[in-house]
Amino acid sequence: MEKNYDYKKIEEKIYPFWENTGFFNPDNLPKENKEPYTIMLPPPNVTGELHMGHALNATVQDILIRQKRMQGYKTLWLPGTDHAGIATQNVVEKKLKKEGKTRFDLGRDKFIEEVWDWKEKSGNAILKQLKKIGVSCDWSRTRFTMDEDYTEAVKKSFLHYYKKGLIYKDKRVINWCPRCSTSLSDLELEYEEEKGNLWFIKYKVKGEENYVTVATTRPETMLGDTAIAVNPEDERYKKLTGKKVILPLVEKEIPVVSDHLIDKEFGTGVLKVTPAHDPKDYEIGIKNNLEKIQIIDESAKITKEAPEKYQGLTVLEARKEVLADLGELVSKKEDLAHQVPTCYRCHSKIEVILSDQWFLKMKELAKKAKIPVEKGEIKFHPSSFKKTYIDWLDNVRDWCISRQIWWGHKVPIENESDVLDTWFSSALWPFATLGWPEKTNDLKEFYPTDVLCTGRDIINFWVVRMIFSGLTFLDKKPFKHVYINPTILAADGRRMSKSLGTGVNPMDLIEKYGSDATRFGLSSQAMGNQDLKFTEDSLIRGKKFCNKIWNASRFVLQQIENTDFENTSIDDLPKNDLTESDKKIISQMKETVKSINENLKKFQFGHASEKIYDFFWHDFCDQYIEASKKQDDKKTKIILLSVLTDSLKLLHPFTPFITEEIYQKLPLGKKESLIIENWPKC
């Protein structure tokens, strides 16, 4: 072995070596690897670049796969990317903008060609980056959600729901992004705090000299009011229900209705009801058969349904004019910080508008999705996320599945120009990737999968939908365990973000510390907490540990040089020849194997990392290797080689590059690769 540990040199050499062995592909594993073990890589967006969440998520999956492969399972870790409809279209539109063009200049077909061209040239960058961190995916099975056969699976699933009456088209209020010109589901919104105002506006009670005051953050929407509402339990307004008020500026009569949805504590306890522009107002409108007047259009401008003066104004222009025209009817204004919904892709403010869209009925699917989780057939780790899952299902609304963009899976009926929500297709990921709806050998062998590793932010986006999809189309749950990895935050607790200047590029960390140190540093921090405040300290520690592994291995190899180990193992050593130090390290090794097995079974990656760290550094290096310097017999050399070999096996899932490099230098006779070595027994 070379004197110094050079991670760059090793990592550049080892990954191609692994790929050439073919052992990432389960079909090439030793014949005794029979029982399948499957993980599907959560498909990153085809536009994506590796971020810290990806790095941690990929590392924990690779730890599981490498251990199971060494334990004799027929492991499949299937990779791929998601077409990411809105995100990808935005990327290509920005590219066109630099050329002075828009998608409309190209037309739909030519634009789609442009997207495919971009995808082929730049769209798989993140998969190449994942290789840098050492993931042992079966790249021969790489999938893309716009593959031809995957597209057929999407079409099949849509038509199944449609024929069952679960998919329908209706004009309802939806979230609309004026910038992306498409509908969005509730889950695709992000909320940003905005310092705004709460305006108190007086509506005259018909036939009386009295006024009733409503409080609103959006006075411009009053142009589409068709009622005001109070809580039936609010004593202040008992006599008001059933009367009518005069809508200012529009000068028409609208009713006063009552509904328990009204928050008595907000503002005055009186809500202006604009059914075409607010989900809660829409519900109140349905219950009370109220008219739905759309006064904001898809470009966030005032429509012809409003008084002529305001038509064509932007929302903010209309707000200014409305407030000026109301004059003394605005009784007061208060400062208010509130959460404003924005598009998760372009961060434009969302408008709620009436729109013809396709919806998937969720009531029966939600019931179906709850059963395996409530029965414990699908387990969440940490278990607290089970409540997150169930709570969302208990309050689920029908899913708006259509999008008004060009890139994606087209709605497969009526020559519809809309495409399907990206999450509709990714809901099929655990089985469409294996060839469904065809009855393929892969589908038969590797479905259901074993573990899903993902982040808490997409439990409702993705996990829920994969579960009811698997149960609907294959009558089998898609996985047995859902591991929710910690969310990586900046050291000060803020979210990691390029725009905030808090983002960290894992590729820079790999360049600085090496893949093994990065992996070990990340996995050692996954202690079961929901958030992980990242610092480079753990990676510095990981790099020091790699140096320790290298130097200790180099010492052992020097000590055992020119020793014949053929037909000799630690189990063959006479017990009465063992020193107390020998017995102790053998016992500690078995206890370490047992502990790591138990921790990985519970998805306690941090505890498993710390156990092998403590054993190798303290028990093996500080104690046994030091004690061995006083011995110079074959028995000691056998134990040194045996413990080092088993240590490398235990370390391999966490630090695969350095352990493979050292393993190749061990005097073990016939050997191929550490990735298919037998996992140590306890």
What pLDDT digit, counting tens, does each position of 543-565 carry?
999 999 999 999 999 998 887 77
Q: Does 190 lie in the same domain as 111?
A: no
Share of the chain above pLDDT 90, in %: 79
- Residue 38 counted as domain residue: yes
Q: Does 310 lie in the same domain as 269?
A: yes
- Residue 547 counted as domain residue: yes
- Residue 9 counted as domain residue: no
Q: How far apart are the first and last CA of the chain?
A: 30
CATH number of the domain where residue 578 is located: 1.10.730.10
Q: Does 452 lie in the same domain as 344?
A: no
In 455-570, the DSSP E strands lie at 481-484, 487-489, 531-533
From 576, 587, 577, 565, select the one nearest 637 (Cα to Cα).
565
Q: Does 629 lie in the same domain as 582?
A: yes
Among 451, 470, 485, residue at a domain's last position: 485
SS3 193: strand
pLDDT digits (tens, 9 = 90+) for 414-447: 778 899 999 999 999 999 999 999 999 999 999 9
- Residue 404 counted as domain residue: yes
Among 351, 377, 399, residue at a domain's last position: 351
Q: Does 346 lie in the same domain as 228?
A: yes
Provide the 10 A C-beta neighbour count for residue 169.
16
Q: Does 592 lie in the same domain as 455?
A: no
**Domain of 632?**
534-676
Contact 474, 435 (CB under 8 A): no
- Residue 356 counted as domain residue: no
CATH number of the domain where residue 251 is located: 3.90.740.10
- Residue 145 counted as domain residue: yes
Give Cα 509 to chain centroid, integer Å. 22
Q: Does 330 lie in the same domain as 196?
A: yes
Among 351, 370, 393, residue at a domain's last position: 351
Per-residue pLDDT, averaged over 45-68, amounts to 94
Place of tokens 């099949």: 156
Q: What is the pLDDT of residue 566?
A: 67
Residues 6+ apart with CB under 8 A from 308: none
Q: What is the pLDDT of residue 368?
A: 96
Q: Does 368 lie in the same domain as 425?
A: yes
Per-residue pLDDT, averaged over 86-103, amounts to 90
Q: Does 558 lie in the same domain as 587?
A: yes
> Looking at the chain, how many residues does it have?
682
Q: What is the pLDDT of residue 75?
A: 97
Q: What is the pLDDT of residue 568?
A: 62
Q: What is the pLDDT of residue 417?
A: 87
Output DSSP code: residue 552: H
Q: What is the pLDDT of residue 567?
A: 58
Contact 359, 185 (CB under 8 A): no
Structure tokens at 218: 């959006």
Instruction: Report pTM.
Output: 0.89
Q: What is the pLDDT of residue 499?
A: 64
Residues 6+ apart with CB under 8 A from 351: 175, 176, 178, 277, 296, 300, 315
Burial class (CB in 10 A: 0-12, 13-18, 19+), 410: middle
Q: Does 249 lie in the same domain as 397?
A: no
Q: What is the pLDDT of residue 393?
A: 94
Per-residue pLDDT, averaged over 618-642, amounts to 91
pLDDT band at 8 (very low <50, low <70, confident <90, very high): very high
Structure tokens at 543: 């790099």
Contact 675, 23 (CB under 8 A): yes
- Residue 494 counted as domain residue: no
Choice among 66-80, 108-122, 184-198, 520-534 with the minimum mean pLDDT: 184-198
Rounded Cα–Cα distance for residues 9 and 529 (Å): 35
Find the angle CA(204)-CA(208)-CA(213) to the nearest 5 degrees. Answer: 30
- Residue 546 counted as domain residue: yes
Domain count, the chain: 3
pLDDT above 80 for 500: no
Q: Does 212 lie in the same domain as 194?
A: yes
Q: Does 339 lie in the same domain as 222?
A: yes
CATH number of the domain where residue 99 is located: 3.40.50.620
